[in-house]
Amino acid sequence: MNLRSTLPLLGLPAILLFSCTKTDQLLNLEELALKKSGDKKQVKCVDVDGNSYRTVKIGDKVWMAENLRVTRYRNGQAIPNVSNATEWKNTITATTKGAWCYYDNNTSNNLPYGKLYNWYAVSDTRGLAPKGWHIPTEQEWIELGRALGGCETAASKMKTTGNLTAGDGLWQAPNDDATNSSGFSAFPAGDRNSEGVFAGKSQRTRFWTSVQWEGDPSMIYCLSTNMFAGNPLLVNNDYDIIGYFSSYAAVGGLSVRCVKD
pLDDT confidence of residue 7: 29
∠ Cα 191 241 160 (to 5°): 50
Number of domains in the chain: 1
pTM greater than 0.85: no
- Domain span at 93: 3-260
Q: How far apart are CA 216 and CA 249, in angstroms?
A: 8
pLDDT confidence of residue 41: 64
213 vs 188 pLDDT, higher one: 188
pLDDT confidence of residue 211: 81
User: What residues contact 185, with CB distance under 8 A and at least 6 apart?
Assistant: 33, 34, 36, 37, 38, 54, 56, 65, 66, 112, 158, 160
Q: How confident is the model at residue 212 (pLDDT cuts 50, 70, 90)?
A: confident
Q: How confident is the model at residue 234 (pLDDT cuts 50, 70, 90)?
A: very low
pLDDT confidence of residue 42: 76
H or E element at residue 221: strand 219-222
The residue type found at 16 is L
User: What residues contact 131, with CB distance under 8 A and at least 6 apart?
Assistant: 48, 74
Instruction: Count CB-CB contacts under 10 A for residue 8.
Output: 7
Q: How confident is the model at residue 168 (pLDDT cuts 50, 70, 90)?
A: very high
- Evaluate if residue 79 carries a pLDDT over 70: yes
pLDDT confidence of residue 61: 97
Highest mean predicted confidence (pLDDT) among 87-96, 157-166, 209-218, 227-236:
157-166
